[in-house]
Structure 1
Amino acid sequence: MSNTRAEAAYQRSVAAFRNPTLDLLHGRHAPFVVAMLSIVFTPDRPAVAVADAHAEIGEALDELRAAGYDDDRRLPAGTAREICRHWVRVGWLAPQIEHDVEVYRLTAHAVGALDIAGRTAGGRSRVSRSRVRTLLDAVDRLSRDAETDPEQRIAMLLAEREALDAEIARLRDDEAEPIDDEQLFEEAENVLHLARELPADFSRVAESIKAMQRDVVADLRRDVRPTGEILREYLQRGRHVMQATPEGRAFEGALRLIGDPEHIDRLTDQLRTLLTQPFSRLMAPEQRADLDAIGRQVQQGVQEVLTAQRRASQVITAQVRTHDPVRDRQVDELLRGVMAGLQAWMQHSRPGDRVEPLHTFPVADIGHLRQSLSDLNPPGAPAPLPAREDVEFVDADTRAWGGPHYAELEEYVATLGDHFDLATAFEGADDDTRRPVDLLGLLEIAHRNGMTETDEISVAEARRPDGTYRRFAFGAVTARTVKELPHD
């Protein structure tokens, strides 16, 4: 059965009030929450050390209780630490590590709630000329950007240029009337209205990147594909983390306008100049402070998003590099086994039952260990190596790529007389014993029997089993064919 209009509207309202923003404003202690968050977190202080936040909120809580504001339970119970931990759980504060210090930051929901409360406390919103002009300018720009006909776009741009030329002509002829302070004040209020949305927007972008990071890490832990395929995909996502969310893609477009430090410097200079104009006397002190802080808010918001992007890229890259599907599966199986054992134990356990902890891991039965280290001899001699003729190779090609043919080389050396030149002897050997490793074997035999090196350079050409050749240059060596006996 389909829902009625009233049911659908009520369900949408219920879903909206589950949002942490409305939950903050709708709660019993909402005035206290808004007051504490607004005095602890300011545009110049977006991140507060956890210990400092607990101390400041605890001091304010004591002052309010001493002033009698807790007579009708309008203040939350518990310590400042417990209150802040509760705000973290419900999504109003976000703990982070910055410069090795744990800090609190307002979430986008908390920033939005403070904005709503601030606008409500600041009086009614007026339908001013500035606000309507902002709407019309936005619609005109949208219409121009959405136009696909080049001729129509050219006509729009020409009309805009004609209006600008007419304005320039009036200024040159001193016919333009100065804008009164009341209208400039209305435009300043519209600027403040637009700027109030920026902190929540920046926080929302940063939180969307962090949520994407958590999703990627969770997906990575569940991924059982080959490691090489995982590396390629997730490293790509780490490098392009900003494009992974709609908020991030929208922020990249805005970053082209505000990301340049020169743009932020120009914005700051313009705001300071505005505060020196006569119309600024109509603004309340809070409005003047908010107008002066817009440049810093933009800079801090950009930095917050870029920091979240950098951290997400670093976390994803580190997770990918240390990813071990086999180990992760073993950990998952271990945790599932623990949960299954806990569920089985809960079925027959009583409230007072205890689980004995595992103090040490079980010891494997490895048989008899040596109990005395005084005898360094091994308990038994190793098995003798097999005779050479008893060794079987997989095939001739495997043996051809093996080590030197010592037996064949020694038989060959015995036919060379009392002395021989190493390079000449190697050139005269059979093809099977003229491999690069056989040159090393021949050098080893020469060193064993006694050899003499000279300053001359010898060159020998070795033949690999695949028929390719390689030339080696070394100091000339003259060797004996029989091992030289030591002198008395």
Structure 2
Amino acid sequence: MSNTRAEVAYQRSVAAFRNPTLDLLHARHAPFVVAVLSIVFTADRPAVAVSDAHAEIGEALEELRAAGYDEDDRRLPAGTAREICRHWVRVGWLAPQIEDDVEVYRLSAHAVGALDIAGRAGGGRARVSRSRVRTLLEAVERLARDAETDPEQRIAMLLAERDALDAEITRLRNDEAEPIDDEQLFEEAENVLHLARELPADFSRVAESIKAMQRDVVADLRRDVRPTGEILREYLQRGRHVMQATPEGRAFEGALRLIGDPEHIDRLTDQLHTLLTQPFSRLMAPAQRADLDAIGRQVEQGVQEVLTAQRRASQVITAQVRTHDPVRDRQVDELLRGVMSGLQVWMQDSKAGDRVEPLHTFPVADIGHLRQSLSDLHPPGAPAPLPAAEDVEFVDADTRAWGGPRYAELEAYVATLGDRFDLAEAFEGAADDTRRPVDLLGLLEIAHRNGMTETGDISIAEARRPDGTSRRFAFGTVTASTVKELPHD
């Protein structure tokens, strides 16, 4: 069943009133909110440090309460300035940001729009002036010319525009042009102010759309489980072209070609200063003169706000991509889900007065001793002494045959060789089970312990492995004592 016209209009109206702009204007303390935001945030001061904003809003609140404006609960909000600002951040009227390592507040696009609506409503009704109608007609004519696809028609329009300009130039040269009176110039100045009122909200809307896109990209990235290389290519591309990612950003890029050049803004500022020196400016109220003078600064600050949001979004997206780790993100998600599950279980059995002791520090693993210097290769402590040979049990004879030197058998054999012996000859005369390569080293160790002498001759000894293979060794001739020699005085 299709909705009626009344239902469609009503649903559209309900959706409009959910907008934070209209919500601000229909809020319980709307006059206070509009008044305070308008005096704290000005064209020359679009960003205010959080501490300064709290102090100024608190001072304004005290002055209004002292003047008796708190008699009706609906006029002034309760609470401190900090609590009031937190509420405004929560409902989307203030946007906290970090600028130059300082936390500041900025008006959201909704708040700027609400202040503009309140300012126009309180400043009298808008007049249907010649300037405003001419602006409309020129905009329609320009749109029709740009939308025309026939080249001949476009040429005809341009020729007509050129003929009108030539006729105006001729009248000026012949002194036939009638001077424009101050009343008409004042109307055109009002039209300029009317057009300029939309700029701050437009700039803020572009910056907020870029920030919202940045948050969406980061959230999508954390949920992305594709290969890292594919993710890097796509999201780095989005970070480099962040301005083209939103309709507001694409529209701003077109406007930036007109106002982005510093020379254009300087020329605009000079033209505004010149207008304020003209006689017709005496017809303008002081607030109108201030608003006209601030247009150049508003444009410059708005451009800077958007470019800063673009730069910050590109940096955030790039940093998130470079540190993106799907495995770690999944581990964090699993940890958070585990915490939530544990909290739900605890809530089922807990009472109102139960407390959960917070974990101030993570538990430390007892790992004994960590090496403190990589250059020190010595172990941190002396190793445990080796057990005596007779206390060692071997699995089988084959394992023992491939083990180290048989010191006990070698020492008993050396004791039978007399006072001194030749190492090579002694090894050749040993039993077969003590003539392995390791036994030659063991015999050399015993000779060194008891005192040995090396000569320039070469001795050759043949060793036999447990598997029956042999290997010959050549070394300097060594003679040794059978008992340990005492050192000489």
| TM bracket, shorter-chain basis | 0.7 to 0.9
3-state SS in 1 of match to 2:421: strand
Alignment partners' CA distance in 2, 1:423 and 1:171: 127
CA deviations 1:52-93 (Å, max 9, x no partner) are 000001011000000000045410000011001100000000
Measured at CA, do residues 407 and 295 of structure 1 come closer, stay the same or move farther in structure 2, by a change above 3 Å? farther
Query: 1:403 offset after TM fit, Å?
Result: 28
Q: Which has the larger displacement, 428-437 or 249-258?
A: 428-437
Distance 1:355 1:163, change over 3 A: same
Q: Structure 2 vs 1, CA of residues 437 and 229 (structure 1 numbering), >3 Å: closer, same or farther?
A: farther
Residue 29 of structure 1 is matched in structure 2 by 29
| Distance of 2:472 and 2:151 partners within structure 1 | 72
Deviations 1:310-336 (A, max 9, x none): 000111111111111111110011001
In structure 2, the CA distance between the partners of 1:473 and 1:54, relative to structure 1 (3 Å rule), is farther
- 1:428 aligned residue: 429
Gaps of 5+ in 2: none
Cα 1:149/1:375, change in 2 over 3 Å: closer
CA offsets 1:455-475 (integer angstroms, 9 cap, x no match): 999999999999999999999
Preserved CA contact (<8 Å) 2:96 2:103 = yes
Q: For 2:433 and 2:167, how far apart are their aligned partners in 1?
A: 97
- 1:134 and 1:475 map into 2 onto residues whose CA distance is 112
The residue aligned with 2:270 is: 269
Offset, 1:124 = 0.6
Structure 1 residues 446 and 351: alpha-carbon distance in aligned structure 2, compared to 1, 3 A threshold = same
**1:444, distance to aligned residue in structure 2 (A):** 28
Q: 1:69 to 1:324 in 2, by over 3 A?
A: same
Distance in 2, Cα, partners of 1:404 & 1:294? 98
338-347 vs 478-487, which moves further: 478-487
Aligned-pair CA distance for 1:13: 1.3
Q: Distance in 2 between matches of 1:466 and 1:179?
A: 121
Measured at CA, do residues 431 and 345 of structure 1 come closer, stay the same or move farther in structure 2, by a change above 3 Å?
Answer: same
SS of residue matched to 2:145:
helix
Distance 1:284 1:378, change over 3 A: closer
Q: What is the alpha-carbon distance in structure 2 between the residues aligned to residue 277 and residue 68 of structure 1?
A: 44
**C-alpha RMSD of the superposition:** 10.9
Tell me the alpha carbon deviations over residues 85-136 of structure 1, each in whole angstroms, 9 at most, x when there is no partner.
1000000000011111110000000000000000011101111111111011
The aligned residue for residue 10 of structure 1 is 10
Sort the Cα spacing of 1:303 and 1:452 in 2 relative to 1 into closer, same or farther, 3 A: farther
Deviates more, 1:452-461 or 1:181-190: 452-461
Question: 2: distance between equivalents of 1:276 and 1:343?
Answer: 71
Using the alignment, how far apart are the partners of 2:97 and 2:423 within structure 1?
71
Structure 1 residues 368-419: Cα deviation after superposition (integer angstroms, max 9, x where no partner): 9999999998699999999999999999999999999999999999999999
TM-score by length of 2: 0.76
Deviates more, 1:151-160 or 1:7-16: 7-16
Q: Residue 352 of structure 1: CA displacement? A: 2.1
| Offset from partner CA, 1:405-455 (integer Å, 9 cap, x none) | 999999999999999999999999999999999999999999999999999
Q: CA deviation at 1:356?
A: 3.4
Distance in 2 separating the partners of 1:114 and 1:410: 105
> After superposition, what is the alpha-carbon deviation per residue over 1:220-245, rounded to whole angstroms, capped at 9, x for unaligned?
11111111111111111111110010
Q: Any idea what the Cα deviations from partners look like across 1:276-328, whole Å, max 9, x if unmatched?
A: 11111111110000000000000000000000000001111111111111111
Q: CA deviation at 1:367?
A: 10
Distance of 2:312 and 2:475 partners within structure 1: 56
Q: Give how far 1:353 is off.
A: 2.2
Q: Which range is displaced more, 204-213 or 442-451?
A: 442-451
Distance 1:446 1:355, change over 3 A: same
User: Structure 1: how far apart are the matches of 2:445 and 2:162?
Assistant: 91
Tell me what 1:64 maps to. Answer: 64
- Deviation, 1:349, is 2.5
Higher mean Cα deviation, 235-244 or 405-414?
405-414
The answer on whether the counterparts of 2:371 and 2:380 sit within 8 Å (CA) in structure 1 is no
- d(CA) in 2 for partners of 1:427, 1:257: 103
Q: Is the 8 A contact 2:268 2:296 kept in 1?
A: yes
Give the direction of change, closer, same or farther, for the CA distance of 1:438–1:158 in structure 2 (3 Å limit): farther
Decide whether the 8 Å contact of 2:423 with 2:477 is kept in 1. Answer: yes
Q: Show structure 1 runs of 4+ deviating over 4 A.
A: 359-488
Q: 1:209 to 1:467 in 2, by over 3 A?
A: farther
Match of 2:190 in 1: 189
Offset of residue 345 of structure 1: 2.1
In 2 relative to 1, CA 453–329 (structure 1 residues): closer, same or farther, beyond 3 Å?
A: farther
**CA separation of 1:439/1:26 partners in 2, compared to 1, >3 Å: closer, same or farther?**
farther
Q: Distance in 2 between matches of 1:419 and 1:141?
A: 120
> 1:487 is matched with which residue?
488
C-alpha distance 473-384 of structure 1, shift in aligned 2 (>3 A): closer
Secondary structure of the 2:461 match is strand
Deviation at 1:15, TM superposition (A): 1.2
Paired residue secondary structure (1:102): strand
TM-aligned CA distance change 1:455 to 1:131, over 3 Å: farther
- Please name the residue that 1:313 is paired with: 314
Return the alpha-carbon distance in structure 2 between the equivalents of residues 400 and 261 of structure 1.
91
Q: How many residues align?
A: 488
Cα distance change on mapping 1:170 and 1:73 into 2, 3 Å: same
Q: How many angstroms does 1:339 deviate by?
A: 1.1
Bigger shift: residues 474-483 or 363-372: 474-483
Aligned-partner Cα distance in 2 for 1:273–1:245 = 37
Distance 2:483 2:322 in 1: 58
Greater Cα shift, 353-362 or 39-48? 353-362
Cα drift, residue 275 of structure 1: 0.7
SS of 1:176's equivalent in the other structure is coil
Q: Does the aligned pair in 1 maintain the 2:28–2:74 contact within 8 Å?
A: no
Range 451-460 or range 163-172, more displaced: 451-460
Q: Distance in 2 between matches of 1:368 and 1:466?
A: 44
Shift of 1:33: 0.3
TM-superposed deviation, 1:254: 0.1
In the TM superposition, what is the alpha-carbon distance from 1:348 to its structure 2 partner? 2.9
Structure exhibiting the larger radius of gyration computed from Cα positions:
2
SS of 1:123's equivalent in the other structure is coil
Q: Is the 8 A contact 2:54 2:82 kept in 1?
A: yes
Identity of aligned residues (%): 92
Shift of 1:487: 24
CA 377–188 in structure 1, closer or farther in 2 if over 3 Å, else same: closer
1:93-104 superposed matches below 5 A: 93-104=94-105
> Alpha carbons of 1:152 and 1:391: their partners in 2 closer, same or farther (altered >3 Å)?
farther
Q: Is the 8 A contact 2:109 2:205 kept in 1?
A: yes
Is the 2:57–2:81 Cα contact (8 Å) retained in structure 1? Answer: yes
Quote the residue 1:173 is aligned against.
Answer: 174
TM-score by structure 1 length? 0.76
Residue 407 in structure 1 maps to residue 423 in structure 2 = no
Give 1:398's aligned residue: 399
Q: Which runs of 5+ in 1 are unaligned?
A: none
Residues 379-388 or 120-129, more deviating:
379-388
SS for the counterpart of 2:272 is helix
